[in-house]
Amino acid sequence: MQTQSDIRSILTARGLSPKHRFGQNFLVDQNLLRKLVDASGIGEGSLVVEIGPGTGTMSEEILARGAELVAIELDRDLAAHLREHFAANPRFTLVEGDCLDGKRALNADALARLAGRPFTLVANLPYQAASPVMAICATMPQCVGQFVTIQREVGDRLRAQPNSGEYGPLTIIVQAFCEVEQVAVLPPGCFWPPPEVTSAMLALRPRAAPVIPHGEADAFGAFVHTLFSKRRKQLGAILGRSRTWPEGIDPNARPESLSIADLARLWRA
């Protein structure tokens, strides 16, 4: 597994340095990196997606466990390194480009490589892509788990409960489909160069019974976004009081006070 010195050497040999615009903060704490991969439970025969593989540190660990890896890298310089570094490994596939295709889908080339097969997301996610990637993967029935390093603030939103400032559309969409667990908290010194924020490792595992069917995720998400765009208003003021309200839901309540199950009942009504 690559050390911080190894990563520096790889970049220096190509005349490169970490690029802030791509959120390149390389995870150099090997114990924590292994802890994340351990939590994912991947092994022989697993299909894994990694977003932002960088110099390939986590990629090496994933491949060492016998998994097949589809890695998505936006930085063309690092993509060139990855092609060379893993050229002899038939279980490594590189997709060069943005991990997102718009705001509601993963990279189309990557999806084609996955071919509808069950996959696990294991990644030190670029901060700017983390929220949409996790929301998309949460609603994909073929995604059997997400094990990611993200900004702790985003992690707090994903684990939030009603009546808290962090509770919002991202919380609701993800928790409607996944159980969310914090694996570890990472201070800036776990990365090179150190980011200005604290990070967290999270495990997102699909619920045995999602709150809503996967096929209704977009419509439910649009409803939740509408409610939370006016989160300080009462439900009756947002939706109109002259309607039949589901039992137990008070039209004088605010959106942020409702559980995900109650929001699903209200949406259906």
pLDDT of residue 223: 97
pLDDT of residue 21: 87
pLDDT of residue 93: 98
For residue 176, pLDDT beyond 90? yes
For residue 30, pLDDT beyond 90? yes
Lowest mean pLDDT among 20-24, 190-194, 259-263: 20-24
98-135 per-position pLDDT tens digit:
999 988 899 999 999 999 999 999 999 998 899 999 99
Strands 119-124 and 47-51: parallel
**% of the chain beyond a pLDDT of 70:** 100
Structure tokens belonging to residue 252: 């004088």
pLDDT of residue 94: 98
152-175 per-position pLDDT tens digit:
999 999 999 999 999 999 999 999
pLDDT of residue 114: 98
User: Domains in the chain and their CATH numbers?
Assistant: 4-210 (3.40.50.150), 215-268 (1.10.8)
pTM for this entry: 0.96
pLDDT of residue 178: 98
> Could you tell me which of 137, 179, 115, 117 has the C-alpha nearest to residue 51?
137
CA dihedral sign of residues 49, 55, 58, 62: positive
212-223 per-position pLDDT tens digit:
999 999 999 999
236-251 per-position pLDDT tens digit:
999 999 989 999 999 9
pLDDT of residue 128: 87
Estimate the share of the chain in helix, then strand, then coil, as percent rounded to the nearest 5.
40, 20, 40
pLDDT of residue 22: 87
pLDDT of residue 4: 96
Please provide residue 144's backbone torsions phi and psi, each rounded to the nearest 5 degrees.
Answer: -95, 10
229 band by pLDDT with thresholds 50, 70 and 90: very high
Average per-residue pLDDT for the chain: 96
CB neighbour class for 247 (10 Å; exposed up to 12, middle 13-18, buried from 19): exposed
pLDDT of residue 127: 87
60 band by pLDDT with thresholds 50, 70 and 90: very high
